[in-house]
Each structure stands twice: as C-alpha cells, then as structure tokens.
Amino acid sequence: MKKAELFAAPPAPVRIRVKLDHHLYPGLETLLDHDRQCAHLADEGRLTVCGSHALRQAMREVKNPNLAMHEFQELADRILAQLAKAAAHATSEGPRKAAIAMRAANAFSPFVRRFMPGTPVGFLGLSRDHDTLKAAVAGSDKLGSFHGMHAVLFDPMLATGGSMVEMIDSVLDRGATGITTVSAFSSPQGVLQVAAYDEVKRIITAPLEAGLTDRGYIVGGHTPYAMLGDFGDRYYGPVE
C-alpha cells in the first residue's frame, strides 16, 4: 500500500514539528519502521484501511474543537458507519460476536445493529491510568462467552493499543477463535501492538494518524487541527 493511502493526512510535516516517536513497538527504532510494517500488513491483507474521500473529509472536519456536540456526532457517525459496514462484510462467514468498549465505543452500537443484524454483542468497561497509560477493566463486565465465535472488537481510538489489547485478552479468555478489530483513529504504534497477536486476523481502521505524544495521545497530520481530543467526552459530553 502506498504511504499516501495509508495515512489520513501526510505525516511528515507534523512529525517535524512535534515529537511523535513515543511508545514504539519493541524492536523498531523509528516511525518510518512502523510505517513500513503497517504497509506490509496492508499488503498481506491483515490491515484494511477504509479510505474513501468522504471518510477522509470527515476525519479532517471532526477534529475541529469548535464543533457543537451534534456536529461532532454527525461527522463521527459517518466514519463509524463505514467502518462497521466494512467489518460486517469482512466477518460475514461463520459465527461471530461483537464486543464494545464502554463508553466511547458505544457510538458504534447503532451501526453494529444496522450492518450486523442478529449478531450478539458483549460490553466491557475500560479505563486508562493516565500515569501508566495501561488499560484495565472498570465497572461491570458484560462480555459473556465467545466460545467458538469470531470476535469483532470495536473501539474508536487505537492509540498505544492498551485498551484493545485488554479486549483481545478478554475475548481470548472467553474462547474466541479469531479476532477482527475496528477503530476510527489509529496510530501506527497501536496497529502493531494489536497485530502482534496471531489470533487477530484483520485490523480494520480509517486512515492512520501520524503518531503519539509522550502521554499517549494521537496526533494526525491535519491542519489546523491535528488532535481529536477525548472521543467519549466529545460524543457524549464530559464526565464531571
């Protein structure tokens, strides 16, 4: 896959302005190494980048911090709908079950129902420690069994990969036979963390962002707004 197709916006300019080579995958020394590995995953069919013109436009516009909540929701829904549709098509054969990371990924729910009707859905509450950046189960666990089923995991943000890795481990413990992950805003670092699992057969994402800050926040190449912010807070409102 060509680099221009892999990314939501050219990553080089923002990588010059901002240091984004944090949380690198073990054994890799630069973001260019990550780019090459992601392109290889795409070429071998494990990484699917949904890159329509409309989706790319929505990814640029949704980062505007001045959007009203309903405007953010409308743009985000355009992105999530295309990703859920791609996931439905990619996992149409054999038994499957969806898993949604609460609360941000609940925004995927209407599109899971639309494009994957009759598919059972489990829910997992996750929180991230802002000091260690590690994800942990928070609140009730409503995943249920995945025995003999292909797990389709939804989380809008794939930054360091911690939350998605926690979901992967959880569904594998519950008997999942294979995994597809679905994310809207993904860093190269997060993609490679997920791809390290042989059980992950496909990673579905919108075009990639440029990298991560030292605090694990995703930064893209869009101008004038390179960062999305907290997806859950912008979609549902901040938690006081």
For residues 121 and 143, the answer to whether their CB atoms sit within 8 Å is: no
Range of the domain at 164: 3-236
108-163 residue pLDDT tens: 999 999 999 999 999 998 766 666 556 556 666 789 999 999 999 999 999 999 99
CA 1 vs CA 11, 51, 58, 75, 205: distances in Å: 15, 12, 22, 26, 14
Question: How many domains would you assign to the chain?
Answer: 1
Separation between Cα atoms, residue 187 and residue 128, nearest integer Å:
17
Nearest to 14 by CA among 229, 185, 230, 219: 219
CATH at residue 7: 3.40.50.2020
CA 8 vs CA 88, 157, 166: distances in Å: 22, 14, 26
19-49 residue pLDDT tens: 999 999 999 999 999 999 999 999 999 999 9
58-68 residue pLDDT tens: 999 999 999 99
Q: Provide the β-strand partners of residue 58.
A: none
